[in-house]
Structure 1
Amino acid sequence: MRDDADGRGGDELTHTDASGDAQMVDVGDKPDSQRRAVARGTIHLEASTVEAIRASELEKGDVLATARIGAIQAVKHTWETIPMCHQIPITNVETDFEVGDTEVTLTVAVETTGKTGCEMEALEGVTTGLNVVWDMVKAAEKDADGQYPETRISDVRVLEKEKSTR
């Protein structure tokens, strides 16, 4: 991955040293800035499962409340799961669920003030939050053979990232 002052690429690889070994990027000389990233993804489910989520009728409990906690926890621990990802001070996490007829969409916005962005944190929040939904509803989603023919997570992406100097 190449990176320079404008974030569009430069002459040096930033995640490898002179011998080609992986290394963490040194951001020590970068000024602090306010940063925000927003990511979104969707889990596709059976209509009956979505209705059970709405009615709080699932055996494991409140699906969206549990998924919200999972998403926030994932944001806070991203640096532990993504190699060479910096531990950053998270100043805010917002989660928003949109419940459709056969899907649940999760949007996660992350804010920090620091030397590096928070896109990976937003993505980790979305993917973990949606995985928690799957875990909470898997008994309802399984078919007679114990498979998940309709269940899938899709469209995970960064919607926006912002950076502003203090």
Structure 2
Amino acid sequence: MRLTHLDATGAATMVDVGEKSETARSARAEALVVMQAKTLDLIRDGNLKKGDVLAVARVAGIMAAKRTSDLIPLCHPLMLEKVAVDFEFEPALPGIRIHSEVRLSGKTGVEMEALTAAIIAALTIYDMAKAVDRTMTVTAVRVVEKSGGRSGDWTV
């Protein structure tokens, strides 16, 4: 098996996508922040002293997706056409599930951008709520769907 991020000498290299065709590409990812029920209530009701946790986490996730190539070595800088970050309250856990979606027309996929959006949104929630709940965990970070490119479509 040939590793795509190593050259013939074994040195790290960015994959050459120059010969690839531009296609519509998208990816969706998710992350989960598990917390105490009272913390979930504070976030849902907008009663944390630091402000609107989900609004800040949404912006953080979008900004992070746009900066993925600055954070992950060998990732291509991409002209993203859409980045969305949404939240789902899960009282049974209790916790918040973060959903991210990234799209573009390009020569390389956007899975890393979708993962970056989800995890940075999760870390932002943690940061804003840690003063009231040090037991929170960030977990279940994963790509749940990708489409486009030579490898085609994939869904969990």
TM-score (norm 1): 0.86
Question: 1:82 aligned to 69, 72, 78, which one?
Answer: 72
Q: 1:22 to 1:164 in 2, by over 3 A?
A: closer
Q: Deviations over 1:33-91 (max 9, x none)?
A: 00000001100011111111111110110000000000000100000000000011100
For 1:139, the equivalent position in structure 2 comes to 131
What does 1:49-60 correspond to in 2, within 5 Å?
49-60=39-50
* Contact map agreement 2:30 2:140 (CA 8 A) in 1: yes
- Structure 1 CA distance for aligned equivalents of residues 126 and 82 of structure 2: 25
What does 1:123-162 correspond to in 2, within 5 Å?
123-141=115-133, 148=134, 150-162=135-147
- Structure 1 CA distance for aligned equivalents of residues 5 and 131 of structure 2: 42
Tell me which stretches of 4 or more aligned residues in structure 1 moved more than 4 Å. Answer: none
Q: Deviations over 1:71-116 (max 9, x none)?
A: 0001000000000000111000121100122100000000011000
What is the percentage of aligned positions where both structures have the same residue? 41
TM-score (norm 2): 0.91
Q: Give the match's secondary structure for 1:93.
A: strand
Unaligned 5+ runs, structure 2: 151-156
How far the C-alpha of 1:12 sits from its partner, in A, is: 3.1
Matching of residue 110 in structure 1 with residue 102 in structure 2 = yes
Q: Which amino acid aligns with 1:116?
A: T
Instruction: Give the structure with higher Rg (CA).
Output: 1
For 2:81, the equivalent position in structure 1 comes to 91
- Structure 2 CA distance for aligned equivalents of residues 118 and 67 of structure 1: 20
Unaligned 5+ runs, structure 1: 1-10, 142-147
